[in-house]
Amino acid sequence: MAELEEKVPDAAQPKKEQRPVITRRALCVGLGGTAALLGLGAVRYAGSAPLVRPPGGQDEDALVSACIRCEKCYEVCPRGVIAPAHLEDGILNMRTPVMDFSANWCDWCTEENGGTPLCVASCPTEALKTGSTPETGALGLAELNQDLCLAYRLIGCRFCYDACEYEAMALDENNRPYVLNDQCNGCGACESVCVSLQNGSISAGATERAIVVRPLEA
Amino acid sequence: MNTKRLRTIIPLAVIGVIAVGFATHVGVGTLSAIGWQDISLLCPLGALMTMIATKTMIPRAVISVVIAIALILLFARAFCGWICPVPVVSKIRGVFSKKTSNTDMTGTGVLPADENPLVKAAKGSEAADAPAPLSADEQAALSGCGHSCSSCAEKRATFDSRHVILGGSLLSAAVFGFPVFCLICPIGLTFATIVLVMRLFAFGDVAWGVILVPTLLLAEVVFFRKWCSKFCPISALMSLVGKANRTFVPAIDNAKCRESAQGTSCEACAAVCPQGINVRHPEAGMSFSECTKCRACVEACPTRAITMPFLPKKAAPSTVIVEDDETVPAA
Ligand code: SF4
Ligand code: SF4
Ligand code: SF4
Ligand code: SF4
Ligand code: SF4
Ligand code: SF4
């Protein structure tokens, strides 16, 4: 190189000024991208409804702040009850973990992992915080919609009552189930077994089951 | 099997393993947090953003950043060349346009031959019967071009748009308190697409996301053809840390190189590099911190003069010093 510079004595001169920190064009593109990111960030203030989250994810603000949407928690759940939140749940929440009790429910991994929630253990960002138990960490609260519930049509159903392992459901004098709010931890067992949607005439127009777990903050 | 095929097959295999892992609940995670069960290597950018957004030190995130830095020091941007699914996904561009590009998406690529002063110089001297000594113009071209053309200026600037966007990613995480970039990260969107499609077929989980996520991903790779070299903040992070990379840097055996051994111009290595690195004349192209260790230069060299040694060999005094241009003292 030294050789070349001797032959072209002034090659070194322009070189110095031609090594800009950044070109104007690159800076503009970069700032454009930054502006887009800042614009997108504003979805934080667009307002989003709280969702039913996996154990340890009940502090909505903390979860949304920390979660990098890595999909690990939904993968490890042995019962497959964690799903990615949909666009319908807000852009901010999209792909963050929400509970899906359509086929199964959460027992804080008692059966599969001795009570240590696998989702919490595997969340690398601590978006799901440790320390949640069935007794202390309610995921939500079951809500029974009497208009949709078969038992309230006197069809005689008590699947949800039988499914609840936390003694959070009782039967009234007509054998109709109801939720004991202070006992319910939102595990979703009741929702996972509810058959109301399978009954066409009663559920006509219904989009959800007669008993669903609602987020606590809602 | 040639490297180019291998560099498509490996990312596809990674996608396959992750998809199977997802279906079987084994806990390998995605590339955003790859690992085994509760051991994960977080994406370094995600790790930084989540810590900035929550304003807390997260042990697994700190460890991930440290390991990621170590890996980048060892391999520079090899992630881009060998593992990242985005360049493979971008091959879908072929469906939209017949034009084949001379980059592999990961880099700035080389200039078209007729605009490339290096290739011109090479052609010029090949035209002459005897390997004529290079003219002053060609010398200038080879030593880094005396003209001010924007693409050259861009190549030699210390920072480019990616670095600004990296700053913007960290800033937006700080301002809004969540990892904003994760919403549009094409790597995350690739795996989100797979997960959503798998859920669609496994559980009939129909949602707008099944359409939106892949659309966004395709838009990013189709409309932002230069995503990797102009936008990707992960690439920016790797190029910054990669400035200190000294291992597996392509090195020329001057006894074999046409240019140094025979005095003929060649530039095959420069022409083929998807990152716009000029291995023969490093000061004329992008910095070696952009090297994806793709081995294209190694394979393109007509005399097999290029190797990628684990450690740089001490250059003999009379040879062209092949070094990161950061360390070339300003004259
Ligand atoms: S605690 Fe276990 S069962 Fe419950 S959501 Fe987490 S991984 Fe699934
Ligand atoms: S494992 Fe943690 S960071 Fe990853 S998607 Fe689940 S909650 Fe978010
Ligand atoms: S009422 Fe339903 S959600 Fe509540 S604890 Fe019982 S089964 Fe779980
Ligand atoms: S399972 Fe559903 S329909 Fe049956 S009693 Fe419970 S809420 Fe009503
Ligand atoms: S620049 Fe970014 S998107 Fe492109 S290959 Fe590298 S990490 Fe992947
Ligand atoms: S210098 Fe060689 S190995 Fe590195 S990116 Fe360019 S062609 Fe690939």
Name the residue range of residue A166's domain.
140-218
Mean pLDDT (chain A) is 87
Residues B105 and B313: their CA atoms lie apart, in Å, by 31
Asked if A76 and A151 sit in the same domain, the reply is no
Q: Does A91 touch chain B (CB under 8 A)?
A: yes
Asked if B187 and B232 sit in the same domain, the reply is yes
DSSP class of residue B229 equals I
Residues B14 and B273: their CA atoms lie apart, in Å, by 24
Asked if A72 and A123 sit in the same domain, the reply is yes
CATH code at A207? 3.30.70.20
Asked if A118 and A163 sit in the same domain, the reply is no
Asked if B170 and B230 sit in the same domain, the reply is yes
Tokens 């020329």 locate to: B252
Asked if B57 and B142 sit in the same domain, the reply is no
Its pTM stands at 0.83
Question: Confidence band (pLDDT; 50, 70, 90) for B271?
Answer: very high
Q: What is the pLDDT of residues B183-218, one digit of tens each?
A: 999 999 999 999 999 988 888 778 888 888 999 999
Answer whether residue B143 shows pLDDT above 80.
no
Answer whether residue A37 shows pLDDT above 80.
yes
Q: Does A167 touch chain B (CB under 8 A)?
A: no
The minimum CA-CA distance between B194 and chain A, rounded to whole Å, is: 11
Instruction: Report phi then psi at B155, rounded to 5.
Output: -65, -35
Q: Does residue B98 belong to any structural domain of this protein? A: no
Answer whether residue B317 shows pLDDT above 60.
no
Answer whether residue B126 shows pLDDT above 60.
no
Asked if B281 and B235 sit in the same domain, the reply is no
Q: Does residue B77 belong to any structural domain of this protein? A: yes
Residues B100 and B49: their CA atoms lie apart, in Å, by 36
Helix, strand, coil share (%) of chain B residues, nearest 5: 55, 5, 40
Find the residues whose C-beta lies inside 6 A of ligand 1.
A 54-55, 77, 79, 81-82, 106-109, 117-119
Q: What is the pLDDT of residues A157-170, one digit of tens each?
A: 999 999 999 999 99
Answer whether residue B130 shows pLDDT above 80.
no
Residues A190 and B60: their CA atoms lie apart, in Å, by 36
Residue nearest to atom 2 of ligand 3 (CA): A190
Asked if A147 and A177 sit in the same domain, the reply is yes
Q: Does residue A40 belong to any structural domain of this protein? A: no
Answer whether residue A9 shows pLDDT above 60.
no
For residue A99, what pLDDT is reported? 96
Average pLDDT over residues A142-147: 93
- Last residue of some domain: B203, B225, B240? B240
For the CA atoms of B317, B322, B327, B330, the dihedral, rounded to the nearest 10 degrees, stands at 70
Which one has a higher pLDDT value, B319 or B31?
B31
Contacts of residue A22 in chain B, CB cutoff 8 Å? 157-160, 163-164
- Last residue of some domain: A137, A159, A185? A137
Answer whether residue B114 shows pLDDT above 80.
no
Q: What is the pLDDT of residues A61-107, one digit of tens each?
A: 999 999 999 999 989 999 999 999 988 888 899 999 999 999 999 99
Range with the poorest average pLDDT among B11-25, B133-147, B242-256: B133-147
Say if CB A24 and CB B160 are below 8 A apart. Answer: no
Taking one residue from A and the other from B, the number of pairs with CB-CB distance under 8 angstroms is 251
- Last residue of some domain: A89, A105, A137? A137
For residue A203, what pLDDT is reported? 65
Of B28, B42, B164, the CB nearest to A33: B164
Residues 6+ apart with CB under 8 A from B129: none
The minimum CA-CA distance between A142 and chain B, rounded to whole Å, is: 22
The total domain count for chain B is 2
Asked if A72 and A148 sit in the same domain, the reply is no
With pLDDT > 90 as the criterion, what percentage of chain A qualifies? 62
Residues B46 and B238: their CA atoms lie apart, in Å, by 13
Q: Is B99 helix (H, G, I), strand (E, B) or coil?
A: coil
Residues paired with A82 in a beta bridge: A99
Tokens 């060999």 locate to: B313
Q: Does residue A11 belong to any structural domain of this protein? A: no
Asked if A130 and A109 sit in the same domain, the reply is yes
For residue A217, what pLDDT is reported? 74
Question: Confidence band (pLDDT; 50, 70, 90) for B93?
Answer: confident
Torsion sign across C-alpha atoms A99, A188, B23, B34: positive
Q: Is the CB of A214 under 6 A from ligand 3?
A: no
Asked if B265 and B312 sit in the same domain, the reply is yes
**How many CB atoms are closer than 10 A to CB B99?**
7
Asked if B116 and B214 sit in the same domain, the reply is no
Average pLDDT over residues A135-156: 90
Instruction: Report phi then psi at A35, rounded to 5.
Output: -60, -40
Asked if A105 and A175 sit in the same domain, the reply is no
Asked if B84 and B117 sit in the same domain, the reply is no
- Last residue of some domain: B240, B267, B294? B240
For residue B182, what pLDDT is reported? 94
For residue A145, what pLDDT is reported? 93
Q: What is the CA radius of gyration of chain A?
A: 27
Say if CB A180 and CB A161 are below 8 A apart. Answer: no
Q: Does residue A34 belong to any structural domain of this protein? A: no
The minimum CA-CA distance between B128 and chain A, rounded to whole Å, is: 21
Q: Does residue B99 belong to any structural domain of this protein? A: no
Average pLDDT over residues B256-285: 91
Residues A76 and A74: their CA atoms lie apart, in Å, by 6
For residue A45, what pLDDT is reported? 84
- Last residue of some domain: A119, A137, A155? A137
Answer whether residue B128 shows pLDDT above 50.
no
Asked if B61 and B191 sit in the same domain, the reply is yes
Name the residue range of residue B44's domain.
3-90+161-240
Answer whether residue B63 shows pLDDT above 90.
yes
